[in-house]
């Protein structure tokens, strides 16, 4: 998203968000399909999370008009740091797939996870996949591979919900969205192949790398905002 804002400063933010979501939904859907072919998907957890994420993502998009995003940035930075520290301190974290919830508790936790992350993705977005992976590992006992596969499905739902608002209102650039979607599919294809080949240990390392990049970006943005003030 930052690259889009820098490259097309004259476009409406909603148009850039819609363009980005068009590309993202294609990539995440492709990754979800490939994971489903090779990984035993925990659908009892994924589906309630995806449904609540779909509903709350739309509300999150609507909340953009009256909630200050700049106030959220430091909180997201703190949460990313805590997730990275927690993962680094626990070497066994996410290495073994041992689902720890079932029945009513599994359903309720799935709805809660999907709703919270769905609202966040509709409202703000960066780091959604990382938060989903961390929460699936931490609270559901998934390994990183199953958590990554589950996160992709939920991410498809949040992207679709946003598109319901953006596309009918013309908030997207079709040609750019198509080119970005093609690149997104190529990236998701490479990532999925590597994840399936090397397993949870590889996904854990990629997770920590991505979270580290996000921490640097959020820290820089927060510092820039404070200096500007």
CB 131 within 8 A of CB 113: no
Q: Give yes or no for residue 224 having a pLDDT over 60.
A: yes
Cα separation of 176 and 192, whole Å?
24
- pLDDT, position 190: 94
Split into its structural domains, the chain has a count of 1
Q: Averaged over 135-162, what is the pLDDT?
A: 94
Instruction: Please state the rounded mean pLDDT for residues 73-83.
Output: 87
91 confidence band (pLDDT: 50, 70, 90): confident
Q: What does the pLDDT look like over 118-133, one tens digit per residue?
A: 988 877 777 899 999 9
pTM for this entry: 0.89
Residues with Cβ < 8 Å from 169, sequence gap 6 or more?
Answer: 14
Q: Which two tokens stand for residue 161?
A: 């919900």
Task: Indicate whether 66 pLDDT > 70.
Answer: no
Query: 218: domain range?
Result: 2-228
Provide DSSP, 89-136. Answer: H-TTTTTS------HHHHHHHHHHHHHHHHHHHHHT-TTHHHHHHHHH
pLDDT digits (tens, 9 = 90+) for 166-194: 888 888 898 999 999 999 999 999 999 99
């Amino acid at each position: 998203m930052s690259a889009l804002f820098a490259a097309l400063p004259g476009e409406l933010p909603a148009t850039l968000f819609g363009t980005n979501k068009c590309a993202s939904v294609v990539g995440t859907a492709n990754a979800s399909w490939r994971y489903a072919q090779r990984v035993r998907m925990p659908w009892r957890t994924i589906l309630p999370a995806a449904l609540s994420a779909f509903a709350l993502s739309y509300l999150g998009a609507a909340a953009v008009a009256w909630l200050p995003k700049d106030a959220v940035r430091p909180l997201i930075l703190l949460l990313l740091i805590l997730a990275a520290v927690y993962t680094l301190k626990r070497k066994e974290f996410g290495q073994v797939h041992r689902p720890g919830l079932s029945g009513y508790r599994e359903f309720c936790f799935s709805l809660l996870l999907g709703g919270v992350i769905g609202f966040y993705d509709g409202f703000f977005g960066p780091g959604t996949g990382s938060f989903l992976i961390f929460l699936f590992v931490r609270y559901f006992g998934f390994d990183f591979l199953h958590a990554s596969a589950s996160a992709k499905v939920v991410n498809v739902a949040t992207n679709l919900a946003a598109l319901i608002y953006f596309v009918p209102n013309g908030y997207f650039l079709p040609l750019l969205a198509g080119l970005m979607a093609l690149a997104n599919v190529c990236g998701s294809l490479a990532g999925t192949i590597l994840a399936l080949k090397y397993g949870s240990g590889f996904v854990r390392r990629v997770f920590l790398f991505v979270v580290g990049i996000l921490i640097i970006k959020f820290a820089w943005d927060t510092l820039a905002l404070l200096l500007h003030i």
